[in-house]
Structures are given as structure tokens and as C-alpha cells.
Amino acid sequence: MDRTSQGKRGFTLIELAMTLAVLALTVTLVTPSMQQLLHGNRLRTEASRLLDALSLARSEAVMRSTRVALCPLAARGAQAGDCSGRFADGWIVFSDVDRDGRFDSRSDELIRAFDPIPKGYSLTNLAGSAAVEGLIAYLPDGTSRRNLSLLLCPPPGQPVPPWSVVLNNAGRARISRGEGQCPGQQD
């Protein structure tokens, strides 16, 4: 037996072609599931971020014994601090000492600023008919005196259930999955 040819067997062209075909099929089948997983995870993360902001505002209102507000960042061209923007563009939590519903650096304290939600995702009301705007304020007793449901939606065409952030009058916020109707989503 020749020692040079022993143990040097490689793949044949047919074996290599079959391996590549199986790999291509696996990637084709796994990619949509992986995208759904990634979009679902991103929605959960963004819902948790919004829930964290609401919880921070509530706890700071109680701790400071003053009104604390969650304010969407101002739209371009608007006066800074007027809370006229959309929450999808980012938001701030601040102590609203003068209770005017506007962030004024002379009298109010910025507690924390939050980045916008990722491009392609949307933040709407529960019906999916309007962007979420306006101030959310907590009183020193921790109540918000406002019922509100915010719906985080995936990019259009992604079959991923939305996440909701629900705020009740008592000021408690929670997140849930699959409530509401995203814009462009079919029944």
C-alpha cells in the first residue's frame, strides 16, 4: 500500500454541491424566522424603555414631592422645551416645578433624556390612527390621572405582533403584547 495516498481523501464535487444545497435551503428557511425574532426583540426593548421612563417619572415625582413630566422632544423649528413633538422622536423626563408643562432649564431639572425609537418602527395610539404626542405628567402622589395606551409597531410588512405600554389613572404602567392594530396591518 502506498503511504502517500493513505488518509488524503477530500470531498467530491457531488458531495460539495449537496452540502451547499443543504446550507442554502437552511439559510432560506431560517432568515425570515430570524428577522421576526429580531424585530420582536427590538419591540420588546423599546416598550421596556418607555416603561422605564414612565416608572422613572413616577418614582421621581413621589421622591421629589413635585410634578414630574415625560415630554416628547420638540419638532424641528419649534421652541425648545414646548413638548410639541412626537414620542417616537425621543423624550425627556424633567421636574416640572412651575407646573407649566414645558421644560425650562431655569426652573426645571432635566432628569433624563431618551433616544428616539429606531427608524422604521412607529409609536401610535392603540387604534393605530395617530402618533403619540403631548405631555404625560405625574403628580407628587404618583398618579397620572390619565388613561393612555401606546402601541409600538414593527416596520411595515413585518408579521410581528405589536407591544403596548398601558398607563392607568393611578399612574401604574405595564406592557403587553399583541394588543391594538398597527397602521397598515391587516386582520
> What are the pLDDT digits (tens) for 74-116?
765 455 667 888 899 999 999 999 999 889 888 899 999 999 9
**CATH class belonging to 40-177:** alpha beta
Distances from the Cα of 171 to the Cαs of 1, 60, 146, 147, in angstroms? 84, 12, 8, 9
pLDDT at 15: 85
Examine the pLDDT at 1 and tell me if it is beyond 80.
Answer: no
Return the closest-CA partner of residue 43 out of 158, 128, 162, 185: 162
The structural domains of the chain, with segments of one domain joined by +, span 40-177
Paired residues of 187 in beta bridges: none
CA distance 82 to 90: 14
Task: Let me know: does 81 contact 100? Beta carbons within 8 Å.
Answer: no
5: confidence class by pLDDT, cuts 50, 70, 90: low
CA distance 179 to 182: 9
pLDDT at 34: 77
Q: What is the DSSP letter of 54?
A: H
Per the rule left: phi > 0, alpha: psi between -120 and 50, beta: everything else, 60 is alpha
The 10s digit of each residue's pLDDT in 118-146 is 999 999 888 778 878 888 999 999 999 88
The pTM of the full predicted model, rounded to 2 decimals, is: 0.79
pLDDT at 75: 60
